[in-house]
Amino acid sequence: MDARVSGGAPAGGRSWWQRARSGPGGRYAVWKYNWLANHKIVAALKRVRTHARGELLDVGCGSKPFAGVFDGLVQRYWGTDLAGSLYLGDERPDAFATAGAQPFRDGAFDTVLGLSMLTYLPQPLDMLVEAARVLKPGGVLILEFTQMVPLHDEPHDYFRFTRYGAEFLLRRAGFEPVAFVPVGGLWARVGLSTIAALNRINRGPTRVLTEIPVRVLYIVLQLLFELLDRVFFDPREVLAHVVVAKRPG
C-alpha cells in the first residue's frame, strides 16, 4: 500500500452514470443502451480534463470507466468505492472507503474526481470537505453535480443541485470554482427516459424477438434526441454540471 494511505475505512460513493452503463463506450456505439448519457459525460470531461494533473483520486470509481479520458495527463489514477458496490465489475479499487472518510493522508493528491455520487450522500458537504483535505494546496477538484435525472437506487437518492447550489457548497468547503460545464439538456433528459422505457421492453423471454428492433430504435432515437438537444439547448435545464474548482494554495 502506498504511503498516501493512512488506514482502513469502510465503503464510499458511486455514480448514476456508472449505474446506467458498464462503461463510456466508443464514439460510434450509438446502438448501445444510454449511449446518449455516455456521449454527454465524456464530452464534458474532455472539456475539463486539462485541469487534471499528478496523482488523481476517483471517489466512487466503480470499474473506472472514465480513466481513459485522463490518459497522458495524470501520473496515476487511483480509485475508491464501497466494498459492496455493484459497479466494480472485475475491477478492485485501490481502497474501500466512504466518500466522507478517505483512507489517505492530508494533501496526498493533485486532483480529485467525483462523478454523480453526491446524490447518494445524506451529507454531501462532507465529501467536499474530505476532498479538500486529501488535495494538495492548489489542487483541483473535478466534480459532477446532478441537476435533472430520474430517481434511482431508491431510497438512497437524496439531492439534485443547480449550479448556484453547487457553487454554494464548494465555497462552504473552501474551494474556488473555476469552470461550470453543462452535461446535456432537456431533450437529452427526454431521450434518456425514452431509451429506459425501451430497455424495460427488451427483457425476459421475448428478448429474442425484441433485441434487434430495440437496438435499431436506440440508434434512431438517440441520434434524434442528440440533434434536438443541440438545437434547443437551454443552459438552465441540464442533466448536470461538471465543475472544476481549486483548493486555494
Task: Report pLDDT digits (tens) over 88-132.
Answer: 877 789 999 999 999 999 999 999 999 988 999 999 999 999 999
Closest CA to 115 of 198, 49, 58: 58
Give 29-41 pLDDT, tens digit per residue: 898 888 998 899 9
Distance separating alpha carbons of residues 144 and 119, to the nearest angstrom: 10
Res 25: pLDDT: 55
How would residue 26 be classed by pLDDT, with cut points 50, 70 and 90? low
Cite the beta strand spans of the chain per DSSP E: 55-59, 76-81, 95-96, 109-114, 135-146, 176-185, 238-246
> 16-28+37-183+238-246: which CATH topology?
Rossmann fold (3.40.50)
- pTM for the model: 0.87
Average pLDDT over residues 74-87: 89
Q: What is the mean pLDDT of the chain?
A: 88
Instruction: Quote the crossing angle between the two packed helices 186-201 and 35-48, to the nearest 10°.
Output: 140
CA angle 87-131-117, nearest 5°? 30
- Is the alpha carbon torsion for 79, 135, 76, 67 positive or negative? positive
Strand ranges (DSSP E) for 130-248? 135-146, 176-185, 238-246
DSSP 10: -
